[in-house]
Amino acid sequence: SIYCLLGKATKEITPDLIQGSRVADGDENTGRGNWTNKREYILSMIGYAIGLGNIWRFPYIAYKNGGGAFLIPYFVTLFLCGIPFFFLENAIGQFCSQGPINMWRAVPILQGVGFSMVAMNTFVSIYYNVIVAYSLYYMFASFQFPLPWSSCFMANWTQENTTCPSSDMITASVRSPSEQYWDLVALQRSSGLDETGPIVWHLALCLLLSSILVAAALIRGIKSSGKVVYFTATLPYVVILILLIRGVTLEGAQDGIEFYIGSQSNLTKLTEVWKDAATQTFFSLSIAWGGIGTLASYNNFHNNMFLDSVVITLINHGSSVFAGFAIFSILGHMAHIYGKPVGKVVKEGFGLAFIAYPEALAKLPVSPLWSVLFFLMLFIVGLDTQFTQIEVITTCLFDAFPEIFKSKRAVLTIGTCVIVFLLGLPLTDVSLRISETAFFCPQLCMCLFVSCIIGGNRFIEDIEMMIGNKSFCFWLWWRACWFFISPCIILVILFWSLINFAPPTYGQVHYPAWGLALGWCMVAAILIWIPVVAGYKLIKAEGSLWKRLKFLCSPSEDWHPYLDIHRGERYSKERCRQQKAVSTNDKQM
């Protein structure tokens, strides 16, 4: 928005602007509101961090990279990068009580990173909403016996002249019943991007229903979503536990679990293993997407966000490992039935969630029950992540234009969900993938936020204003991570991803050149804000180039705790006026 680009201070929101839509009696911040209690914040953060990637991506990544041996680099990268970055973004959001755009007032020249975060959330929320719709459709389709993808002969949806034997008879490259159901019935997928198919109406209706549920949960912001997460953040664990208990009682489950956790270290792929571990850590925690800072911005100022960060990140990684046992126990049973090695039935991503695992569930007694539970879990996990992604967008708009949206929180939320729904309709029959480059650049900028520009000591003092003074040894570790270890790891991953980039495919389908170009345009649409906003602010600033850079690399006058009572001597109004006077004199010299 032009409002934020100009660097103007957002007008302080007062209770009369909100009219009770997101503020309750007893809230510390009567302008923006706070979480009703600590439990709602923790559950919301867990629901956001633990997404579909923990369930359908991590088990495959772990098996591909040596099983149990992969857990070592996975947890090492958690302590080297995951917890430090999570702690950093958490602290920034809680300190300023602002969304992703306004939190970059600390480094005005990098305020475009906030716009990139919002753009990334917009793209991903469109994509994620479609995946939630897939899960919802499969859940509804599971209310029948036998399951429709258990055999090609259950319906007339097979292609003419297409062989569709039972999967245990497949010895050549022949499509299984579950794979054909996914392509021909669920997606009604066209032959490629060059062939545009019609809207898949059953998916469109599921997309509409998921959008309605998201809008309803966020109708009053965190006040309403905080109540919903009591159910949505805990139910997936119950379902995973049920599936695990059922899975370990099946024949072949032991083979699947041993295949999952068995150490198969491969020194020739050591670099790839560590790269996958770090990438999975960043993706599963959703670091530098803006969601962590947004949720933290509604905390009380003196909340111990350090302890929160450690607990949430450990729960996130533990959940990935836990889900893997439930997945591989049942895949092991399917491999046992077919007389195949477990590795022959394992797939990644959509292939695991909508082809391999549904096929395995179809082989169980009372298969509709297990299928309904599994897809209900996927649906709920997707909803939790979608809640925060939409909240990021609406919070940024609300913080930037409080007078416009003063009593229209519901309208803003519904309008955002409607736009996400409409933009998601064309994606109901295609697979979307955004390059890793778009995710790592904001993370690298967060390192610059602390180490190169705002100053490590200054930011540490900001954190101590919230959680109290800590020892030198305590901060020594975080300085090492923020200033050196994490930036180096991100740079290595970024360059490794670019050097080894391979055009994405969907099964045997290769995307055309224009499709790849469109994908890179999406990446550009996310990252372009960083240089554009930096250039705009440099042009608008006064003085020599060096003075402009110095001015824009220093915290702006409105970078401080949201409430006066928390600003103390370092951020008192008098000190802000003095800084403003100094800045004015510098520009006039």
Q: Tell me: the pLDDT tens digits for 207-236?
A: 999 999 999 999 888 888 889 999 999 999
| Greatest mean pLDDT among 398-402, 420-424, 446-450, 473-477 | 420-424
**Mean pLDDT, range 502-524, rounded to an integer:** 73
Q: What is the pLDDT of residues 152-163, one digit of tens each?
A: 645 444 554 455
Stretch 27-56: mean pLDDT: 85
492 pLDDT above the threshold of 70: yes
Largest Cα separation within the chain, whole Å, is 83
Residue 430 predicted with pLDDT over 60: no
Structure tokens at 196: 């545009």
Q: Where are the beta strands (DSSP E) in 181-336?
A: none
Q: Which residue has the higher pLDDT, 347 or 321?
A: 321
Q: Which residues pair with 505 in a beta bridge?
A: 510
How is residue 508 annotated by DSSP? T
pLDDT at 383: 92
Total structural domains within the chain: 1
7, 556 in Cβ contact below 8 A? yes
452 vs 199, higher pLDDT: 199
Per-residue three-class SS string for 308-334? HHHHHHHHHHHHHHHHHHHHHHHHHHH
Looking at residue 6, its pLDDT comes to: 33
pLDDT tens across 273-312, in order? 888 888 888 888 888 888 999 999 999 988 998 999 999 9
Does 284 carry a binding-site annotation? yes
13 CA to centre of own chain: 28
Q: How confident is the model at residue 1 (pLDDT cuts 50, 70, 90)?
A: very low
CA atoms within 13 A on the CB side of 114: 32
* Residue among 335, 329, 295 nearest 312 (CA): 295
Report the pLDDT value the prediction gives residue 372, as an integer from 0 to 100.
Answer: 92
pLDDT at residue 2 greater than cutoff 70: no
Per-residue pLDDT band at 581 (split at 50, 70, 90): low
18-32, 185-199, 336-350, 503-517, range with the lowest pLDDT: 18-32
> Poorest-confidence range of 46-55, 344-353, 530-539?
344-353
Q: Does 230 map to a domain? A: yes
Specify the pLDDT at position 31: 73
Higher per-residue pLDDT: 430 or 121: 121
pLDDT above 90: percentage of residues in the chain? 18
Residue 566 maps to a domain:
no
* Domain with 475 in it: 2-556
- Tell me the residue length of the chain: 589
Decide if 94 is inside a domain: yes
Phi-psi region of 168 (alpha: psi -120 to 50; beta: other; left: phi over 0): alpha
**14 inside domain:** yes
Question: Residue 469, annotated ligand binder?
Answer: no
- d(Cα 188, Cα 162) in Å, to the nearest integer? 16
How many CA atoms lie within 13 Å of 468's alpha carbon, on the beta-carbon side?
3
Question: What SS3 string covers 173-226?
Answer: CCCCHHHHHHHHHHCCCCCCCCCCCCCCHHHHHHHHHHHHHHHHHCCCCHHHHH
Whether residue 385 is contained in a domain is answered as: yes
Whether residue 535 contacts residue 554, with contact meaning beta carbons closer than 8 Å, is answered with no
Report d(CA 58, CA 353) in Å as an integer.
Answer: 12
Contact 165, 177 (CB under 8 A): no
- Once rounded to an integer, what is the mean pLDDT over residues 44-54? 88
Say which residues have a Cβ less than 8 Å from residue 148's Cβ, sequence separation at least 6: 141, 154, 155, 181, 185
* CA angle (302, 413, 111) in 5-degree steps: 55
Q: What is the pTM of this model?
A: 0.84
Predicted confidence band at 7 (pLDDT cuts at 50, 70, 90)?
very low
3-state secondary structure of 552: helix
Q: Picking from 4-18, 309-323, 347-361, 516-530, which range would have the lowest pLDDT averaged per residue?
A: 4-18
- Specify whether the CB–CB gap between 185 and 148 falls below 8 A: yes
Kindly give the interhelix angle for 253-261 and 235-248, rounded to the nearest 10 degrees. Answer: 120
339 Rama sector, left if φ>0, alpha if ψ -120 to 50, beta otherwise: left
Mean pLDDT for the chain overall: 78
Greater confidence (239 vs 569) lies with: 239
316 known member of a binding site? yes
266 is in an annotated binding site: no
What SS3 class is residue 559?
coil
Residue 339 lies inside a defined structural domain of this protein? yes
Tell me if 448 is assigned to some domain. Answer: yes
Residue of higher predicted confidence among 290 and 407: 290
Say whether pLDDT at 110 is over 80.
yes
Element containing residue 505 per DSSP (H, E) = strand 505-506
Residue 375 has a pLDDT of 92
CATH number reported for the structural domain that contains residue 128 in this entry = 1.20.1740.10
Q: Is 49 marked within a binding site?
A: yes
Percent of the chain having pLDDT more than 70? 78
The helices-and-strands tally (H runs, E runs) of the chain is: 28, 2
Quote the tokens at residue 46.
């867990």
The residue-averaged pLDDT of 8-12 equals 39
**Distance (Å, whole) CA 61 – CA 137:** 26
